[in-house]
C-alpha cells in the first residue's frame, strides 16, 4: 500500500467521522450549549435594565458561567456546557475541512467562515472548561476588560490605529450581516422544513428573526465602539458585551431598549435550541 493510498484512506475515514452520528450529536449538543449561554446573558441583561445594575453581575459569558456555578450541580452543568461547545467547534472544523451541508457548502468562502467559527467556539470551550476545572479567571473574566486589553495591545503595534479600526468595522459589518440574514430568514435553508409543523416554523421564525436581530445589533454597536477607540486612540472606549449592553440604557429609550435587546438575546437562546432539533447537520 503506497503513501497516496494511505492518505486517501485516512481522508475517507476522516470524512466518515465528520458525517457520523457522533458528529451529528456533537453539533446538536453544541447548539444546546450556545443557547444556554445566550439565554442566561439575556436574563442578566434584563436584570441590569430593571434591577439597578444586575446586582454586580456581568451581563456576558463570564456572568452566565458564574450564574451556573452558583446553582446546585453547577459544576456538572459547566462541564456539560464545555463539552457541548467542544462538539460545536469540532463540527465547524469538519465543515471547514470537508464542506458544510447544502449545495454551496464546499465553497471556499463557506469553509473559511466555518474555520473562523471553529476557532471561536474552540476558544469559548476552553474558557468554559478551564472555569469548570477551577480556573475562575479563564471563564468569568470581564469581557469589558478583555476588550480594552486587546485593543490597547493592538494600538501599540505599527499601524495599530488602522488595525483596530479595520477590526471594528469588521465586527460592525458582521453584526449587520447577522441581523439582515435573520430578517431575511436565511436560516431556512439549513432547516428540515418538511419535518416541521406550522407552529414549529412559527416558533423558529419568531425566535430566529427576533434573536438574530438583537444579536446583530449587539455586534454592530460593539464594533462601533472599537472604531471609536481607534479614532480617539483610547483603548478604554472599546467595550465588551457587558458594557455594550449597558450602553443601550444611555439612549433616549433608557432601560427599555436594553430590555428589548435582552429579550432578543433570550430569543436567540431559544432559537439555538430549536436549531439543535431541526437543523440539517
Tell me the mean pLDDT per 10 residues along the chain, length 281. 48 55 90 95 90 66 86 89 94 88 77 91 91 69 78 91 94 96 94 93 97 96 94 89 88 88 96 95 82
Question: CB-based burial of residue 266 (10 Å sphere; 0-12 exposed, 13-18 middle, 19+ buried)?
Answer: buried
CA 187/CA 181 separation, integer angstroms:
8
Q: Are 184 and 255 in contact (CB under 8 A)?
A: no
The confidence score (pLDDT) of residue 63 equals: 85
**pTM, whole model, 2 decimals?**
0.86
Can you spell out the DSSP letters for 92-124?
A: HHHHHHH--SSTTTTSHHHHHHHHHHHHHHHHH
- What integer pLDDT is reported at residue 3 of this predicted model? 46
- Quote the pLDDT of residue 187: 94
pLDDT given for residue 73 in this prediction? 85
Contacts of 191 (CB under 8 A, 6+ apart): 204, 275, 278, 279, 280
Whole-number pLDDT of residue 104 = 73
* Nearest residue to 263 (alpha-carbon basis) of 275, 274, 248, 280: 248
- Measured from the Cβ of residue 180, the count of other Cβ atoms closer than 10 Å reads 13
Amino acid at each position: 500500500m503506497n503513501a497516496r493510498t494511505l492518505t486517501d484512506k485516512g481522508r475517507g475515514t476522516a470524512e466518515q467521522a465528520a458525517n457520523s452520528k457522533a458528529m451529528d450529536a456533537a453539533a446538536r449538543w453544541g447548539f444546546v450549549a450556545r443557547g444556554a449561554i445566550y439565554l442566561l446573558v439575556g436574563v442578566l441583561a434584563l436584570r441590569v435594565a430593571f434591577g439597578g445594575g444586575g446586582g454586580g453581575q456581568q451581563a456576558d459569558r463570564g456572568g452566565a458561567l458564574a450564574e451556573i456555578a452558583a446553582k446546585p450541580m453547577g459544576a456538572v452543568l459547566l462541564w456539560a456546557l464545555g463539552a457541548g461547545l467542544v462538539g460545536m467547534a469540532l463540527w465547524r472544523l469538519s465543515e471547514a475541512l470537508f464542506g458544510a451541508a447544502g449545495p454551496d457548502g464546499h465553497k471556499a468562502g463557506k469553509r473559511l467562515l466555518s474555520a473562523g467559527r471553529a476557532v471561536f467556539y474552540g476558544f469559548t470551550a476552553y474558557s468554559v472548561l478551564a472555569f469548570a476545572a477551577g480556573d475562575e479567571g479563564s471563564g468569568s473574566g470581564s469581557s469589558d476588560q478583555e476588550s480594552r486589553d486587546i485593543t490597547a495591545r493592538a494600538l501599540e503595534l505599527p499601524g495599530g490605529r488602522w488595525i483596530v479600526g479595520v477590526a471594528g468595522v469588521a465586527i460592525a459589518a458582521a453584526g449587520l450581516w447577522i441581523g439582515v440574514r435573520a430578517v431575511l430568514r436565511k436560516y431556512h435553508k439549513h432547516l428540515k422544513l418538511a419535518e416541521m409543523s406550522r407552529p414549529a416554523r412559527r416558533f423558529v421564525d419568531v425566535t430566529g428573526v427576533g434573536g438574530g436581530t438583537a444579536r446583530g445589533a449587539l455586534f454592530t454597536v460593539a464594533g462601533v465602539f472599537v472604531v471609536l477607540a481607534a479614532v480617539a486612540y483610547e483603548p478604554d472606549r472599546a467595550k465588551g458585551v457587558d458594557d455594550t449592553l449597558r450602553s443601550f440604557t444611555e439612549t433616549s429609550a433608557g432601560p427599555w431598549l436594553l430590555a428589548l435587546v435582552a429579550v432578543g438575546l433570550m430569543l436567540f437562546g431559544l432559537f439555538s435550541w430549536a436549531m439543535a432539533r431541526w437543523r440539517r447537520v
